[in-house]
Homo-oligomer: A and B are copies of this chain.
Amino acid sequence: MIIVLKQNTKPEQLENLEAWIHSMGIETHVSIGKTHTIIGLVGDTSQVDMDLVRALDIVENVKRIQEPFKNANRKFHNEDLVVDIGGVKIGGGNFQIIAGPCSVESREQVCYIAECVKKSGAGLLRGGAFKPRTSPYAFQGLKGEGIELLEEAKAKTGLPIVSEIMNISHLPMFESVDVIQVGARNMQNFDLLRELGTIDKPILLKRGLANTIEEWLMSAEYIMAGGNENVILCERGIRTFETKTRNTLDLSAIPVLKKLTHLPVIVDPSHALGHSNMVKPMAMAATAAGADGLMIEVHNDPARALCDGAQSLTPEAFDDVAKAVFQIRPFACKYNED
């Protein structure tokens, strides 16, 4: 961390500031230039509150040099993390599609979709049992029963399952879930993250709607600081002023994350866009940009099918997306290596 002081800082103010920094066990390295005095901080600065320092009257500017995350930092983990889910691997050159219904609705639905997506090449089955809904009056998911239906689909197809947790007290129900998802709205539910750091299952951490990449990595850090190193990051769109899409999918997060962290990065193009015919081009784009996987909604709801189209893909449309993605993938491997 580097602190730049204002020109008119008095020597005793500098001394006081240094004393305060030393009290945290951090060394200082002062360089008095022609126009500015600069303090370099050497030591573990992850505990220093930058906003507090920046707010001091004598401080012109403060800048972190080391990223505030360690466990999630590629500098300390040069090798890509490979998350192994019962033999299904994500990261480090392993690419997976996670597919399934937004909400688990019935045994027939989830088993039928599971079989379809497996045939098309999906490596994992997703399905929502607990649904975070903006409205308290909307359907909140089948809950425990939904998890049981996912288990049945897993038993039939062998696909590991991914499902979202909203409350740490539900953890016992997630025994059979292979990858636990933390949704965008819980990305900074720090108590939930901390608890998930103590268990032994991979966590799929979605980016919050308005969170920076650094905050996202700090949330991964919460999980990893507790000992659980298997975190998969999932970009799902951020909030902007544009109204033609529900959210703006930030695909540049992929190369940015690849530089900063060794964790696998996947992309969910279904939620951000709002219409199924945009899923294919964005799934292809995410793959080309070097994503380690995709998460895609697939449904077979006849009520919606009646009306000819919806935001989820039908199994047939998903098959087409999967084909496209698997053909793009080798070029992503070949050209995104440096």
Contact = CB atoms under 8 A, between A and B. Distances in A.
Interface stretch (A57-65, A91-99, A198-206): A57-65
Contact of A238 (B44, B132, B242, B280): B242
B188 A303 contact: no
Tell me the number of copies of this protein.
4
Given A240-B241, A256-B278, A34 B38 contact: no
A20 to B, nearest CB: 5
A185 interface: yes
B336 A281 contact: yes
Interface in A252-271: 252, 254-256, 259-260
Nearest to A189: B189
Given A4-B63, A13-B308, A255-B281, A213 B244 contact: yes
Contacts of A335: 280, 284, 320, 323-324
Contacts of A20: 303, 306-307
Contact of A135 (B46, B58, B274): B46
A288 B166 contact: no
Contacts of A246: 51
B190 A166 contact: yes
A49 B304 CA distance: 12
A21 to B, nearest CB: 10
Interface stretch (A81-89, A136-144, A155-163, A172-180): A136-144
Contact of A281 (B185, B290, B327): B290
A233 interface: no
Nearest to A260: B244
A266 to B, nearest CB: 14
Interface string A299-329: 0000110111111000000001001100110
Interface string A34-47: 11101010101011
A210 B240 CA distance: 9
Interface of A: 2, 4, 13, 16-17, 20, 23, 29, 31, 33-36, 38, 40, 42, 44, 46-47, 49, 51-52, 54-61, 63, 65, 68, 132-139, 166-169, 185-186, 188-191, 194, 208-210, 212-215, 218, 221-222, 225, 238-246, 248-252, 254-256, 259-260, 272-278, 280-282, 284-290, 303-304, 306-311, 320, 323-324, 327-328, 331-332, 334-336, 338
Given A31-B31, A208-B210, A281-B288, 17 more contacts: A2-B4, A16-B306, A33-B40, A44-B137, A46-B137, A47-B135, A47-B137, A55-B275, A134-B218, A168-B169, A169-B169, A214-B243, A238-B242, A242-B250, A243-B243, A288-B328, A324-B335
